[in-house]
Chain A
Amino acid sequence: MPTPQELRNLKIVTKAFGIPDSHKLATYQKRGGFEAFRKALTLQPAAITDEVKKSNLRGRGGAGFPTGMKWSFIPKDAKLVYLVVNADESEPGTCKDRELLAKDPHLLIEGMMIASYALGCKHAYIYIRGEMMREAKVVQGAIDEAYAAGWLGKNHPAAGGGGTFNLDITLHRGAGAYICGEETGLLNSLEGKRGWPRLKPPFPAIKGLFNAPTVVNNVETIMNIPEILTRGGEWFAGLGVGKSGGTRIVCVSGHVAKPGVFELPMGITFRDLIYDVCGGIPGGRALKGVIPGGSSMPPLDASEIDVPCEFDALMTDPRIKDVEVKPGVPFDLGGGRKLKTMAGSGGIVVFDDTTDVVALCARIMEFYAHESCGQCTPCREGSGWLARVCKRLARGQGEPGDVELLANIANGIGGNTICALGDAAAWPMLGFLTKFRADFEARIQPKKIGLPGRAGATTEAA
């Protein structure tokens, strides 16, 4: 077992950071690139999935779903299987995949080769966000190099004589739509349609890209695979905490002295992250709160930062308050389950005590209203309504009843939509109200006598 200090310094997916020309194949091979893939070919595909299961690797795209389990949902007798890497990174506060793509694209390619071998995939796609033009060039360059060297394409030289393994990888550029990060919206987009999320079930593992069984994984998730093969699932699981194996990449932004993208132990607390790794809050100001995993996650207040930024801790640690619909009434996630928050995409946004949290929350609501694809009424209408009411509160023109109104709208969206974008608007709204209710109430104008209350019936433009 590594010591805590060794663990702090251990890098799995950010090993290439700081190495000159780290995106080139020659550099990657000098660092031992493709050794893990060679090892993979000596194993049965099912044994690789087992190793990934043992590693406790969890999806880094947002939901933290166990990767090995996701792979095992692919029907055993499937003739055609697709692997799709989600490189659409656009959850506000998240900036890790972009760096990973730019600095170590061959690690992604090797991870995809191993995953494809395990899944029986012959053609894998990388769906990269349209705005990432520079990264698209780097990744395409890496793919071209890998083809030229014979790692990709037919008649694989390393395939151990039999030539049983061959893989094509195609880079597919999106064109500006946050919703294409949602895996089924992504699949529709990849098929040349609007990026409208699909009703589930069927899940992609059964009916995904071009109706074939499909695994969708995040960039960071796949980049962990080669090291899991090299050092074993048990080793990887041992680095982590509880059911979350490996290290964690966090992107820290906002009011810290040294913002950045860091690979750190799973168990690191937000306090250590802010005050130790990131040099504290500039100007000696005090912390007001932290968004722990991208803008769709309920915030933590300053009293809740001793919790580690690990998946399960953020969902269950008793030191984090339950998100409420109104004081004393917890929000029901379904079946009586309560919501605290989630580790999400690793986008950690720190805000100090000078922050106008109502304006911050309004900006988040504006984002989800803008990005709602419009298929379901609660999300389409509700997200715009949340944004409008939040914005008028931020302007100091809130009306009596607005805080309750916001909670009611959010409560009506949560759990009632095709995809999780609805929740992504509702959860932070309820979270901000739970943690910073007084800030919202302070923006309400006392009602003028004689005017009927028109809570929410405003027609002002968003």
Chain B
Amino acid sequence: MPLEFSAQSKQRVERLLTRYPTKQAALLPVLHVAQEEFGHLPDEVIELVSRTLDLPAAHIYGVVTFYTMFHREKHGRNELMVCTNISCMLRGAYPILEHIEKRLGIKPGETTPDGVFTLVEEECLAACANAPMMICGDDYFLDLTPEKVDVALDELRRRSQQQQPQPVGTKTIFGMGPNGAKT
């Protein structure tokens, strides 16, 4: 059985398609919907989007790999984006990042073994006047100190334990030739 969108995602996709004169223009929003539903964008999901929008899978693959927010691998339930760009750097972002690395036992780009956190070192997140800072989903954590980081991490962990674990998605088969043919 090829992968399908849930009824709810299908409805969102239908609505998105009414907002653009071409199907291709709906690609980024549809990929957001897909990533929200499946957690990440392995080949099967790319193929689903390809069928949905009548676009070559190779085009979608090229787009997915261009944008940093789309990921091919499974990520943690909380994506911690820590800014280390200049305004944050001047106010101690690197010590903050190190503190988080120590607390979580992972480096940027890695996910904790329990799947709760993925740590991402980010470029400027447009909250420079509240540096150093990080975001997680739509939560902002501003004017960070090591103590505030500890409180934030505990709170995020507590929240994600209450929540249902996200669907695991499907296995990633890496590598794709032109028009989605597996290499």
Is A260 an interface position by the 8 A CB rule?
yes
Query: What are 29 A-B contacts with C-beta separation under 8 Å?
Result: A92-B86, A94-B124, A95-B126, A97-B126, A98-B126, A130-B32, A131-B122, A133-B138, A134-B138, A170-B19, A170-B20, A175-B67, A175-B68, A176-B70, A191-B22, A192-B27, A194-B62, A210-B21, A210-B22, A251-B129, A254-B90, A259-B130, A261-B129, A347-B87, A347-B128, A349-B87, A349-B90, A363-B84, A363-B89
On chain A, the residues within 8 Å of B26 by CB distance are: 192
Q: A95-B126, A193-B63 are in contact. Are A174 and B86 (CB under 8 A)?
A: no
A174 touches B129 (CB 8 A): no
Measured CB to CB, the nearest residue on chain A to B63 is: A194
1/0 per residue B132-159: CB within 8 Å of A? 0001011110000000000000000000
Contact partner of B123 among A174, A178, A190, A195, CB < 8 A?
A178
Is B81 an interface position by the 8 A CB rule?
yes
Measured between alpha carbons, how far is A172 from B32 in the docked complex, in Å?
Answer: 11
Measured CB to CB, the nearest residue on chain B to A250 is: B129
Is A244 an interface position by the 8 A CB rule?
no
Measured between alpha carbons, how far is A172 from B24 in the docked complex, in Å?
Answer: 13
Contact partner of B63 among A94, A192, A255, A260, CB < 8 A?
A192
On chain B, the residues within 8 Å of A367 by CB distance are: 85, 123-124
A260 touches B129 (CB 8 A): yes
A-side residues, CB < 8 A to B, are 89-95, 97-98, 129-134, 137, 168, 170, 172-178, 189-195, 210, 251-255, 259-261, 291, 295, 347, 349, 351, 355, 359-360, 363-364, 367, 370-371
A176 touches B69 (CB 8 A): yes
Is B3 an interface position by the 8 A CB rule?
no
B86 touches A177 (CB 8 A): no
Q: A174-B67, A178-B123, A360-B86 are in contact. Are A93 and B138 (CB under 8 A)?
A: no
On chain B, the residues within 8 Å of A176 by CB distance are: 67-70
1/0 per residue B37-53: CB within 8 Å of A? 00000000000000000
Q: A95-B129, A178-B123, A193-B63 are in contact. Are A133 and B81 (CB under 8 A)?
A: no
On chain A, the residues within 8 Å of B168 by CB distance are: none
On chain A, the residues within 8 Å of B129 by CB distance are: 95, 251-253, 259-261
On chain B, the residues within 8 Å of A173 by CB distance are: 28-29, 32
A371 touches B128 (CB 8 A): no
Q: Give the Cβ gap from B62 to chain A, nearest Cβ, in Å.
A: 6
Measured between alpha carbons, how far is A355 from B27 in the docked complex, in Å?
Answer: 44
Which are the 5 A-B pairs with shortest beta-carbon distances? A192-B27, A176-B68, A175-B67, A176-B69, A134-B138
Measured between alpha carbons, how far is A176 from B122 in the docked complex, in Å?
Answer: 10
Measured CB to CB, the nearest residue on chain A to B143 is: A259
Measured CB to CB, the nearest residue on chain A to B139 is: A134
Q: Give the Cβ gap from B175 to chain A, nearest Cβ, in Å.
A: 19
Is B91 an interface position by the 8 A CB rule?
yes
Is B131 an interface position by the 8 A CB rule?
yes
Is B174 an interface position by the 8 A CB rule?
no
Q: A92-B123, A355-B90 are in contact. Are A251 and B128 (CB under 8 A)?
A: yes
Contact partner of B24 among A192, A349, A355, CB < 8 A?
A192
B123 touches A192 (CB 8 A): no
A98-B127, A131-B126 known; 6 new pairs, CB 8 Å cut-off, are: A92-B124, A93-B87, A174-B67, A190-B25, A259-B130, A363-B86
Measured between alpha carbons, how far is A261 from B127 in the docked complex, in Å?
Answer: 10
Measured CB to CB, the nearest residue on chain B to A88 is: B126
Q: Give the Cβ gap from A209 to chain B, nearest Cβ, in Å.
A: 9
On chain B, the residues within 8 Å of A133 by CB distance are: 135, 137-138
1/0 per residue B113-129: CB within 8 Å of A? 00000000011111111
A90 touches B140 (CB 8 A): no
On chain A, the residues within 8 Å of B21 by CB distance are: 210
On chain B, the residues within 8 Å of A251 by CB distance are: 128-129
Measured CB to CB, the nearest residue on chain A to B85 is: A92
Is B31 an interface position by the 8 A CB rule?
yes
B31 touches A95 (CB 8 A): no
Q: Give the Cβ gap from B46 to chain A, nearest Cβ, in Å.
A: 14
A191 touches B86 (CB 8 A): no
On chain B, the residues within 8 Å of A91 by CB distance are: 124
Q: Give the Cβ gap from A328 to chain B, nearest Cβ, in Å.
A: 29
On chain B, the residues within 8 Å of A261 by CB distance are: 129
On chain A, the residues within 8 Å of B127 by CB distance are: 95, 98
On chain A, the residues within 8 Å of B135 by CB distance are: 131, 133
On chain A, the residues within 8 Å of B24 by CB distance are: 191-193
Q: Give the Cβ gap from A9 to chain B, nearest Cβ, in Å.
A: 20
Measured between alpha carbons, how far is A260 from B131 in the docked complex, in Å?
Answer: 10
Q: Give the Cβ gap from B119 to chain A, nearest Cβ, in Å.
A: 15
On chain A, the residues within 8 Å of B59 by CB distance are: 193
Contact partner of B86 among A130, A134, A349, CB < 8 A?
A349
On chain B, the residues within 8 Å of A259 by CB distance are: 87, 128-131
Measured between alpha carbons, how far is A434 from B95 in the docked complex, in Å?
Answer: 30
B28 touches A174 (CB 8 A): yes
Measured between alpha carbons, how far is A177 from B25 in the docked complex, in Å?
Answer: 17
Measured between alpha carbons, how far is A259 from B26 in the docked complex, in Å?
Answer: 39
On chain A, the residues within 8 Å of B138 by CB distance are: 133-134, 137
Measured CB to CB, the nearest residue on chain A to B122 is: A131
B100-117 contacts to A, CB under 8 A, are: none
Q: A175-B31, A178-B123, A192-B27 are in contact. Are A360 and B128 (CB under 8 A)?
A: no
Q: Give the Cβ gap from A110 to chain B, nearest Cβ, in Å.
A: 21
Measured between alpha carbons, how far is A168 from B28 in the docked complex, in Å?
Answer: 19
On chain A, the residues within 8 Å of B131 by CB distance are: 253-254, 259
Q: Give the Cβ gap from B38 to chain A, nearest Cβ, in Å.
A: 15
Q: A90-B124, A172-B29 are in contact. Are A295 and B86 (CB under 8 A)?
A: yes
A291 touches B68 (CB 8 A): no
On chain B, the residues within 8 Å of A134 by CB distance are: 138-140
